[in-house]
Amino acid sequence: MAAPAYTEFEWHSERAANGAAGEKLNEVFVSLVQKLGGVRSICDLGCGNGHIAGSLTALGYEVTGIDASRSGIRIARRAYPSVKFIEARIDGGLDQLNLTKFDLVISSDVIEHLYRPSDLVAAAFSLVKPDGHVLLSTPYHGYLKNLALALSGRMDSHFSVLHDGGHIKFFSVKTLSRLMTAHSFRDLSFTFYGRAPWLWKNMICHARKPAA
């Protein structure tokens, strides 16, 4: 089956996506990376404008960013010239890049935009070293949060279908765990960010690839 056509997400600056909320999520992401031992090389899948990649490079990590957005890669290369950025689609052609394996693969709020989210998880598995780490974030969804959205009358606005693009997949801990384990990742754990417990904005899944 041919990959679906790609419509570019247009980036206009090197600032974090979604303003202050996006900046806070980036801080949580970076703090989780710093807690992982033995990590030197990092691949940022769906790096966008390179904001997280730039932050991690400033801390001494060797980072490679990959994204299909031409505007995002252009901004990233200008804003963070010491980082290696590659314009490529996650769902095809990464094997042809002959990249070395990474200690850690990260992906921040990308998977919920993909028609086939398994493409991203498969790409992460192929790029990370045996016994290496993956950190993947996506908006959190669960029964109580969805119930609160329904009771508050915000269900339609939250799951809006009236504009192009946006979120097309909505994960719970259970469904994201099933996707990760289906691709042979192990030792899953979750960090939650934003709002009150069980109404969180985001969740970040940490997983490891089995040792060779």
Residue pLDDT, tens place only, 144-157? 898 998 999 988 88
* Distance of alpha carbon 188 from alpha carbon 38, whole angstroms: 18
Flag whether 109 is in a domain. Answer: yes
Flag whether 33 is in a domain. Answer: yes
Q: Where are the alpha helices (DSSP H) in the chain?
A: 19-34, 51-58, 70-79, 118-127, 143-151, 155-158, 173-182
Question: CA 38: distance to chain centroid?
Answer: 21
User: What is the pLDDT at residue 196?
Assistant: 85
Over residues 157-206, the pLDDT tens digits come to: 888 877 777 788 999 999 999 999 999 999 999 999 888 888 999 999 99
User: What is the pLDDT at residue 116?
Assistant: 92
Flag whether 40 is in a domain. Answer: yes
CATH of the domain at 200: 3.40.50.150
Average pLDDT of the chain, as a whole number: 89
pTM: 0.90
* Distance of alpha carbon 22 from alpha carbon 110, whole angstroms: 13
Q: Is the pLDDT of residue 118 over 90?
A: yes
Flag whether 10 is in a domain. Answer: no
Query: Which residue range is the domain that position 120 belongs to?
Result: 19-208
Flag whether 5 is in a domain. Answer: no
Phi, psi values for residue 144, rounded to 5°: -65, -40
Q: Is the pLDDT of residue 1 over 90?
A: no
Flag whether 7 is in a domain. Answer: no
Flag whether 3 is in a domain. Answer: no
Q: What's the total number of domains in the chain?
A: 1
Flag whether 94 is in a domain. Answer: yes
